Amino acid sequence: MTRVHRTDAPMADGRTLRYYDESPGRVPPPDTRDLPVVEHGSVMRFDVLTGEWVTIAAHRMNRTFMPPADLCPLCPTKPGHEASEIPSDHYDVVVFDNRFPSFGEGSAPVPPEVDADPLWPQRPATGTAEVVCFTSDHTAAFSALPVERVRTVIEAWADRIAELSARPGVEQVFAFENRGVEIGVSLQHPHGQVFGYPYVTPRTAQLLNRAGSHRQRTGRDLFDDVLASERKAGTRVVVDGERWTAFVPAAARWPVEAHLVPHRPVPDLAALDEDERAELAVVYRDLLGRVERYFGPGSEDPPYIAAWHQAPVHTGRDLTRLHLQLFSLRRAPGKLKYLAGSESGMAAWLNDASPERIAERLREAGP
């Protein structure tokens, strides 16, 4: 991380605040707030009907929700606003442990079974949940950040992923951004999160199963074949770079959806080389801007989720690779795609938009 300077500082309640600065010389001021030590009671219960773990994090019902801009806990500290999570009056990118984590260390022990019934195993929801602030500017959008700042975010992601992947008990690390009130954000400051799950998530487990079957059947890498097929067809390609390609998947589920895939099979963001990180900063910023302009003037602030899928820490790292799934719930100006009966009840997806038309409109929304 030679181009980014990391400085760690203790927070008032024992958490850690990490500054990622583009210039050296950070001297972090003390966090003088009077805060109780973070406690959480998250527990995971096994759903015998699906084979999936469900996390119960009831303490998050009391988390900070949509405060006014002058009380935003992610903005820098200034006179009259001393309740910020960041005690400094300026920062480039910061990462800190979530005060209301879905997963955390030091979880209280729980009985191994719900109601002492072996049908329902349960365990503490150990793991990690961190907040990543992309900029100190409360009104900024990720797509409007300078390329240099996007590089700093990428370096922060890579650093956190490498560190969290080395922690005992972490099986998968997931970096993501939720944007927009329709998505359910509780803070409007531009930020994302990094989770360290204590298990391999259902989406990734399914992908590993598909990739393993494909390799056994063909001897080839599933992502290599998908990428080659999309680039050969070209009809759904949005950005074709030297090291990255963005395309709308042939079986897109969302009314606006694009995947961004590196040409080299790397397991996670931490494994990207210098050239891949440099191009990613440009292409990722470009793709976010296209999604924001997708619906034309007056609709430039769509809700979206930017989900960085990565290989698990300990299993299947040769079967899947890093890739971005970027999608919006907006299907038209003022209209959202709701996950109604078929999607929510049966996990059977219906899309009102043609993937080829989505790609065409994203290409048209280019800079």
Q: Active-site residues: which are they?
A: 191
Question: What six digits make up the tokens of 14?
Answer: 């024992």
HSE (side-chain half, CA atoms, 13 Å) at 243:
17
Cβ count near 280 (within 10 Å): 22
133 annotated as belonging to a binding site for a ligand: no
φ and ψ of 289, to 5 deg: -65, -40
Q: How far is CA 200 from the centre of its chain?
A: 16
Of 290, 218, 277, 282, residue with least CA distance to 248: 290
Cα–Cα distance between 287 and 271 in angstroms, integer?
22
Distance in angstroms (rounded) separating the CA atoms of residues 66 and 82:
17
Q: Any binding-site annotation on 5?
A: no
Q: Which two tokens stand for residue 179?
A: 């944007």
Distance from chain centroid for Cα 1: 21
Q: Return the beta strands (E) in the chain as ranges.
A: 5-10, 16-21, 43-47, 52-56, 93-97, 122-124, 128-133, 172-179, 191-197, 237-240, 244-247, 256-262, 304-309, 323-328, 330-332, 335-336
C-alpha pair distances (Å), 86 with each of 36, 213, 277: 17, 47, 27
Longest dimension (CA), the chain: 64
Distance CA 281, CA 53 (A): 34
Concatenating the DSSP letter of every residue in 83-102 gives --SB-SS--SEEEEE-SS-S
Residue 356 token pair: 């080829």
User: How far is residue 110's CA from residue 125's CA, in Å, rounded to a whole number?
Assistant: 10
- Is 72 annotated in a binding site? The answer is yes
Task: Mark the binding-site residues for Zn(2+), compressed into ranges.
Answer: 72, 75, 138, 189
